[in-house]
Amino acid sequence: MQRFAGTSLRGRTMIAGLMRSLLLALLWTSSAALSVAFTRHGGGLATVWFANAILTAFLLIEPRQRHSLYILVTLLLSFLFNLWSGRTEALALALSVAGVGEALIAAALMARLSPADRLFDDSANLLRFALSSVIACVPPAIMMGLVMHGVSGASWWQIAAGWITTHGCGLLIMTPLLIVLHRAARDFRPDRIRPAALGRSIAMLGLVAGTTALVFGQSTYVLSFLIVPALLVPTFLLRAPGAAGSVAIIAIVASWFTIEGSGPFALMPVSAAERVYVMQLFIATMFLCALPIAALLDERDELAARTAAHLANMHGIADRIGDVLFRIDDRNAWAYLNPAYQAVTGRSVAGAIGRPVLADLPQRDHNRFNHALARLRAGRIPHYAFTSQIVDALGVTRYIEFALHAGTFGGQGEGISGVFRDVTARTLIDMQLRQKAVSARRDARTDPLTGLPNRRAFFERLETRMEAGHALALALFDLDHFKRINDAFGHPAGDAVLRHIAAAASSLLKDGEMIARIGGEEFALLIEDRIAGAAVATAERLIAAIASQKIALSPELTGSPEGIGLHMTISMGLARSKPGQAADDLLAEADRALYLAKNSGRNQLKLAA
Three state DSSP letters for 351-375: HHCCCEHHHHCCHHHHHHHHHHHHH
Q: Is residue 568 within 8 Å of residue 502, measured between CB atoms? A: no
Q: Is residue 166 within 8 Å of residue 45, measured between CB atoms? A: yes
Report the catalytic residues: 521
Mutual angle of helices 51-61 and 67-84, in 10-degree steps: 170
Does residue 414 register a pLDDT over 70? no
CA dist., res. 100 & res. 81, Å (int): 14
Per-residue model confidence as pLDDT tens digits over 357-411: 998 888 999 999 999 988 988 888 888 998 888 888 888 888 889 999 887 544 3
Confidence category of residue 165, pLDDT binned at 50, 70, 90: confident
414-422 β-sheet, strand order: 334-337, 324-328, 414-422, 397-408, 383-391
CA dist., res. 204 & res. 234, Å (int): 6
Q: Is residue 229 within 8 Å of residue 182, measured between CB atoms? A: no
CA dist., res. 184 & res. 201, Å (int): 14
- Burial-class residue 68 by CB neighbours within 10 Å (0-12, 13-18, 19+): exposed
Spatial CA neighbour of 244 closest among 307, 157, 181: 181
Sequence letter at residue 401: E
User: Strand, coil or helix: what is 390?
Assistant: strand
Please give the full DSSP string across 104-155, using - where no structure is assigned: HHHHHHHHTTS-GGGTTTSHHHHHHHHHHHHHHHHHHHHHHHHHHHHHH---
Q: Is residue 272 within 8 Å of residue 42, measured between CB atoms? A: yes
Spatial CA neighbour of 420 closest among 392, 435, 399: 399
Query: What pLDDT score was predicted for residue 43?
Result: 45
If one counts every other C-beta atom within 10 angstroms of the C-beta of residue 501, the result is 25
pTM over 0.75: no
Q: Is residue 167 within 8 Å of residue 284, measured between CB atoms? A: no
Q: Span 571-592, mean pLDDT?
A: 91
Helix or strand (DSSP H, E) at 567: strand 564-567
User: Strand, coil or helix: what is 46?
Assistant: strand
If one counts every other C-beta atom within 10 angstroms of the C-beta of residue 402, the result is 20
- Long-range contacts: 36-43, Cβ < 8 Å, 24+? 36/85, 38/252, 38/255, 38/256, 38/259, 39/252, 39/255, 39/256, 39/259, 40/259, 41/259, 41/272, 41/273, 41/276, 42/271, 42/272, 42/273, 43/162, 43/272, 43/273, 43/276
If one counts every other C-beta atom within 10 angstroms of the C-beta of residue 487, the result is 11
Q: Is residue 554 within 8 Å of residue 563, measured between CB atoms? A: yes
Helix or strand (DSSP H, E) at 597: helix 583-599
Does residue 558 register a pLDDT over 90? no
**Where do the H-state alpha helices sit in 365-454?**
366-377, 424-444
Does residue 172 register a pLDDT over 90? no
CA dist., res. 513 & res. 526, Å (int): 6
| Chain mean position to CA 158 | 58
CA dist., res. 81 & res. 86, Å (int): 9
Does residue 264 register a pLDDT over 80? yes
CA dist., res. 119 & res. 147, Å (int): 34
Task: Report the alpha-carbon angle 468-471-473, nearest 5.
Answer: 115
Query: What pLDDT score was predicted for residue 278?
Result: 81
Of 3 and 34, more confident: 34
Query: What pLDDT score was predicted for residue 315?
Result: 65
Task: Express as a percent the part of the chain with pLDDT over 70.
Answer: 91
- Long-range contacts: 65-70, Cβ < 8 Å, 24+? 66/17, 66/20, 66/21, 69/17, 69/21, 70/20, 70/21, 70/24
Per-residue model confidence as pLDDT tens digits over 184-223: 777 767 766 788 888 888 999 999 999 999 999 998 888 8
Eight-class DSSP state of 509: P
**Where do the H-state alpha helices sit in 260-358?**
272-320, 340-345, 349-352
Query: What pLDDT score was predicted for residue 295?
Result: 79
Query: What pLDDT score was predicted for residue 412?
Result: 43
If one counts every other C-beta atom within 10 angstroms of the C-beta of residue 7, the result is 10
Helix or strand (DSSP H, E) at 551: strand 550-553
Per-residue model confidence as pLDDT tens digits over 332-368: 999 989 888 988 888 899 999 999 999 888 899 999 9
Spatial CA neighbour of 592 closest among 577, 565, 573: 573
CA dist., res. 324 & res. 402, Å (int): 9
Please give the full DSSP string across 434-447, using - where no structure is assigned: HHHHHHHHHHHTB-
Eight-class DSSP state of 575: E
**Lowest pLDDT segment from 56-60, 90-94, 112-116, 313-317:** 313-317
Mutual angle of helices 51-61 and 89-111, in 10-degree steps: 40
Sequence letter at residue 605: L
Of 516 and 153, more confident: 516
User: Strand, coil or helix: what is 222?
Assistant: coil
Q: Max alpha carbon distance in the chain (Å)?
A: 151
Confidence category of residue 103, pLDDT binned at 50, 70, 90: very high
